[in-house]
């Protein structure tokens, strides 16, 4: 069966866009989790100064639209002599935005660990850092994982905003073809299926990680 | 007034939370093998005193001596040393929820005592054996009963080779049918000559183990003496009145 010219053009472009989307998501998700852990820990346990810095960061990036953040990074920074490629601007924007949300999940998980866990470690002679590292963080990770996974799934979908700083990812590629052939409904339904597939993959991987980290008493019962 | 046999001595410890002074200068000294029981009404400051002794709650004033050496409470290193020598058992166990029974013990041996994995495991198994839980080594706290959790907590504290054990109402979070197993482990410790300070309202522990009873009320030690002195029938003491009321609640414990 021969594909129509429309599909012959659409599918390769979408596949190209898919690869770009994945190239955006993977570093953004990892970077977001990393920044989230650092900022979340500072916000939960830091001194007054680091706590204020962390809170300010989270307030700024959760309080402004991602579109605005991307515009500032891509169109605003050149005014002060900083030029970012579209791809870099998008990834940095996603990391900073995602990290702000992740820090909230991490902070909540850290603060939800019962004080007794901390006391138990201190009473055995653990130092402050040993307590945080060996006792608090392993528990917090297990409590934060559902929220962090949710944020990553959300990130997959808002990665489509990279298009507005001219990164040709899934949505951007699709829109070009849709405009060319004036067949918006079909194109965007297919794009929707691509995102659905991506999210399903992410859900599968997150589930695997959850199972690997599963400990009786944390989260659901198997 | 330094006693050659004094293993732990605290002098004039004071603690307040905000404007409320919770501990009005507590002084006591503890000899090798001695067992002190702390009793008194709820809110009297028993937990606070115990937590000040290993500085889980930092006292604002006062001094702590281990073997007549003053502990510098500002030094993190000396504090960690103190805490390794003075073990603590909590009312609600405080086992590490993400670690199995055996790893609850090995984690401290490995990270604090810097033992090798093999030595730590060997030691942990021996301690679990002591409290009769060798078959529960690979279970997580969520899979253990309250009595089993408390016995793991005791094994964990003992693995650090403490010289003194502080016990804060070790049986009061347990269902009545589980109290016995923990009491028998504590009695076994006492039989082995462990030095202890224990807050408890369990008459069977008070009457059989206490070398000295301290009665705490409103943040002060208001009475102290041997059980014979404080509980004898021709003596009018707060301690005796208090213990009689405990007996009315649970006479079968005597
Ligand atoms: N972290 C804290 N912050 C503020 N107040 C506290 C704190 N811990 C204890 N207190 C207060 O200190 C007083 C003594 O408490 P503590 O727990 O030492 O009493 P207790 O004798 O152990 O009582 P119980 O028999 O109920 O365990 C109480 O009035 C309590 O409200
Ligand atoms: Mg108490």
pLDDT in tens, chain B (254 residues): 444 578 999 999 999 998 889 999 999 999 999 999 999 999 999 999 999 999 999 999 999 999 989 999 999 899 999 999 999 999 999 999 999 999 999 999 999 999 999 999 999 999 999 999 999 999 999 999 999 999 999 999 999 999 999 999 999 989 888 899 999 999 999 999 999 999 998 888 888 899 999 999 999 999 888 888 887 777 777 888 788 788 776 655 44
Q: Which of B166, B85, B97 is nearest to A125 (CA)?
A: B85
Distance CA(B58)–CA(B38), nearest Å, equals 20
- For the question of an ipTM over 0.95, the answer is no
The CATH homologous superfamily for domain A5-213 is MetI-like (1.10.3720.10)
Asked whether B44 lines ligand 1 (CB < 6 A), one says yes
A12-43: b (≥16 Cβ within 10 Å) or e:
ebbeebbebbebbbeebbebbbebbbbbbbbb
CB proximity list for A113: less than 8 A, separation 6 or greater? A136, A139, A140, A143
Structure tokens at B52: 């000040």
CA of A192 to the centre of ligand 2 (A): 59
Q: Which ligand is nearest to the CA of B51?
A: 1
A37 Cα to chain B: minimum distance (Å): 19
Q: Are B184 and B192 in contact (CB under 8 A)?
A: no
Structure tokens at B141: 């706290």
Which pLDDT tens digit goes with each residue over A100-131? 999 999 999 999 999 999 999 999 999 998 99
Sheet holding B69-70, edge to edge: B20-31, B6-17, B61-66, B69-70
Which pLDDT tens digit goes with each residue over A22-77? 999 999 999 999 999 999 999 998 899 999 999 999 999 999 999 999 999 999 99
A132 Cα to chain B: minimum distance (Å): 12
CA of B45 to the centre of ligand 2 (A): 7
């Amino acid at each position: 069966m021969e594909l129509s010219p429309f599909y012959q053009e659409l599918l390769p472009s979408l596949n190209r866009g898919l690869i770009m989307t994945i190239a955006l998501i993977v570093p953004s998700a990892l970077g977001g989790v990393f920044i989230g852990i650092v900022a979340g820990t500072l916000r939960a346990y830091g001194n007054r100064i680091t706590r204020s810095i962390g809170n300010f960061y989270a307030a700024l990036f959760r309080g402004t639209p991602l579109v605005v953040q991307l515009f500032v990074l891509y169109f605003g920074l050149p005014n002060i002599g900083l030029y970012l490629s579209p791809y870099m601007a998008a990834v940095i924007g996603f990391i900073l935005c995602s990290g702000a949300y992740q820090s909230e999940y991490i902070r909540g998980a850290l603060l939800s660990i019962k004080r007794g866990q901390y006391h138990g470690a201190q009473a055995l002679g653990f130092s402050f850092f040993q307590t945080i590292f060996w006792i608090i963080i392993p528990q917090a990770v297990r409590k934060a994982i559902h929220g962090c996974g949710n944020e990553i799934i959300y990130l997959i979908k808002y990665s489509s905003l990279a298009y507005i700083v001219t990164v040709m990812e899934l949505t951007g590629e699709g829109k070009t073809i849709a405009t060319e052939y004036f067949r918006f409904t079909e194109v965007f339904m297919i794009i929707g299926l691509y995102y659905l597939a991506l999210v399903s993959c992410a859900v599968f991987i997150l589930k695997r990680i959850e199972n690997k980290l599963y400990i009786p008493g944390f989260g659901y019962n198997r | 007034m330094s006693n050659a046999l004094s293993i732990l001595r605290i002098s004039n410890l004071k603690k307040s939370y905000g404007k409320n002074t919770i501990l009005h200068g507590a002084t006591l000294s503890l000899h090798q093998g001695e067992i002190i029981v702390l009793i008194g009404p709820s809110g009297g400051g028993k937990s606070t005193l115990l937590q000040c002794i290993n500085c889980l709650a930092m006292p604002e004033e006062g001094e702590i001596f281990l073997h007549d050496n003053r502990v510098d409470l500002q030094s993190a290193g000396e504090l960690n040393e103190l805490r390794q020598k003075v073990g603590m058992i909590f009312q609600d166990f405080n086992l590490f929820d993400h670690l199995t029974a055996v790893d609850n013990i090995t984690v401290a041996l490995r990270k604090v005592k810097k033992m090798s994995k093999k030595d730590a495991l060997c030691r942990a198994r021996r301690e679990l054996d002591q409290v009769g839980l060798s078959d529960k080594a690979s279970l997580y706290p969520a899979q253990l009963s309250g009595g089993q959790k408390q016995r793991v907590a005791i094994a964990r504290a003992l693995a650090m080779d403490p010289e003194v054990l502080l016990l804060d109402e070790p049986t009061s979070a347990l269902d009545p049918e589980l109290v016995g197993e923990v009491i028998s482990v504590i009695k076994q410790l006492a039989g082995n000559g462990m030095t202890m300070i224990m807050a408890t309202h369990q008459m069977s522990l008070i009457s059989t183990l206490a070398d000295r009873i301290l009665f705490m009320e409103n943040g002060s030690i208001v009475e102290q003496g041997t059980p014979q002195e404080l509980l004898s029938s021709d003596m009018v003491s707060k301690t005796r009145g208090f213990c009689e009321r405990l007996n009315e609640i649970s006479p079968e414990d005597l």
